[in-house]
């Protein structure tokens, strides 16, 4: 950001923090805190290893220094302000899931937000319906950028290490599923057995619908499958897909298909695309609800599960007004905000304040003279 832009954005953040307080986590005094401040320097540095005795002390710090980003540890420490991790003395951590649209899909911002919300809904259903976590022990936060954070705060999970957390995130992401366990005949399939069978059947039907030469070449490229076997399989693929899971398991071409990368990718689509390293990290810093995201100017919004379906980040996470602000757009921009769609060409334009802050924070515009 240029100096004028930096000063404008910082001033608007300061106005927000003067009238709003952060949503502090439980056991605030056991959390490590980190901050990234507005700085014209290219290198971004975080000031961390900080602790606060209460919400008043934290609030005063934020109001006085006006950070661009505010983070707290998902972990609980005996001495959170200690300069090294070993000296902090880890005392547990919440179970966290991070869903980021950048890792799921690329495209217009509104489309990315809609897609990551779908993934978050899938995750919430798995956590409550399949893994048995209580709805009142789950907290959601819109990240202020391109995704959501899901916090499981049950005391029972706090002592879990990285391995236990790995098992949970592998489950929700559909990683390491055993075809034999998924396809073994039994009672009506639920959870991942149901998703696996449905995904496999859809995949088989998609292969059968391809051009015969293309489908044969694909199957013949699988480990241990020749062209003759591939051709024979294609003749029965449709009926096999409609058959029992046990029949699918017996077929060696099906077993080869289940080991292929493209099928594993389809399974990932059937699961929830959570960021695995975030969940397994027992000492993670995460954005603080109620703070502003320095890369968008939007609010990190805390949400209850019952409110999630109706939440619209392009409306509900926007905290600034609609007075005109003069900006110099570096490039053409097509985006949505506060129920409006904007198609703007590069150059000097008057735009609503909320949009100006969004564009400046994202590096798409600078404040122009006369703002």
Q: Is 275 a catalytic residue?
A: yes
Q: Catalytic residue, from 100, 170, 178, 281: name it.
A: 100
Would you state the pLDDT for residue 40? 63
- Assigned token pair, 64: 């006085």
Scored b (16 or more CB within 10 A) or e, 5-15 reads bbebbbebbee
Q: Catalytic residue, from 275, 304, 322, 324: name it.
A: 275
* Between residues 224 and 17, the one the model is more confident about: 17
* Between residues 248 and 14, the one the model is more confident about: 14
Would you state the pLDDT for residue 371? 42
Would you state the pLDDT for residue 370? 52
What pLDDT digit, counting tens, does each position of 92-102 carry?
A: 999 999 999 99
Q: Catalytic residue, from 94, 98, 281, 328: name it.
A: 98
Rg (CA), the chain: 25
Phi, psi (rounded to 5 degrees) for 37: -105, 160
Q: Is 98 a catalytic residue?
A: yes
What pLDDT digit, counting tens, does each position of 188-210 carry?
A: 888 999 999 999 999 999 999 99
Overall average pLDDT of the 61-88 stretch? 96
Axis crossing angle, helix 212-220 with helix 227-241, rounded to the nearest 10? 110
Sequence-distant (6+) residues with CB within 8 A of 310 are none
Whole-number Å distance between alpha carbons of 345 and 328: 10
* Residue 332 scores a pLDDT above 70: yes
The predicted model scores a pTM of 0.90
Alpha-carbon distances of 25 from 21, 54, 124, 190, 207, rounded to whole Å = 12, 11, 20, 35, 49
Average pLDDT, the chain: 93
């Amino acid at each position: 950001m240029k100096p004028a832009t930096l000063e404008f954005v910082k001033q608007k953040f300061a106005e927000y923090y003067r009238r709003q307080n952060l949503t502090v986590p439980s056991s605030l005094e056991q959390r490590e805190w980190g901050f990234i401040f507005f700085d014209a320097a290219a290198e971004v540095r975080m000031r961390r290893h900080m602790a606060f005795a209460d919400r008043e002390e934290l609030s005063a710090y934020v109001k006085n220094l006006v950070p661009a980003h505010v983070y707290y540890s998902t972990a609980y420490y005996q001495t959170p302000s200690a300069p090294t991790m070993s000296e902090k003395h880890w005392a547990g951590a919440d179970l966290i899931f991070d869903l980021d649209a950048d890792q799921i899909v690329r495209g217009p911002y509104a489309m990315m937000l809609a897609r990551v919300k779908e993934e978050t809904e899938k995750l919430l259903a798995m956590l409550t319906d399949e893994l048995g976590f209580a709805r009142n022990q789950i907290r959601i936060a819109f990240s202020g950028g391109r995704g959501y954070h899901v916090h499981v705060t049950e005391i029972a999970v706090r002592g879990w290490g990285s391995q236990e957390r790995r098992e949970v995130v592998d489950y929700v992401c559909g990683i390491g599923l055993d075809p034999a366990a998924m396809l073994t005949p039994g009672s009506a399939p639920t959870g991942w057995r149901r998703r696996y069978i449905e995904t496999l059947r859809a995949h088989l039907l998609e292969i059968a619908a391809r051009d015969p030469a293309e489908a044969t070449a694909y199957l013949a490229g699988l480990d241990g499958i020749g062209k003759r076997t591939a051709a024979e399989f294609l003749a029965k693929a449709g009926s096999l897909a409609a058959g029992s899971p046990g029949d699918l398991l017996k077929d060696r071409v099906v077993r080869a298909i289940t080991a292929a990368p493209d099928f594993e990718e389809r399974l990932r689509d059937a699961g929830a695309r959570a960021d695995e390293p975030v969940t397994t990290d027992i000492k993670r810093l995460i954005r603080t609800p109620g703070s502003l995201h320095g890369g968008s100017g939007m609010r990190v919004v805390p949400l209850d599960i019952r409110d999630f379906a109706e939440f619209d980040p392009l409306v509900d996470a926007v905290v600034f007004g609609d007075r005109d602000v003069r900006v110099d757009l570096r490039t053409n921009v097509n985006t949505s905000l506060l129920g409006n769609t904007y198609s703007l060409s590069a150059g000097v334009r008057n735009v609503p304040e909320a949009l100006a802050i969004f564009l400046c924070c994202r590096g798409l515009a600078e404040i122009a003279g006369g703002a």
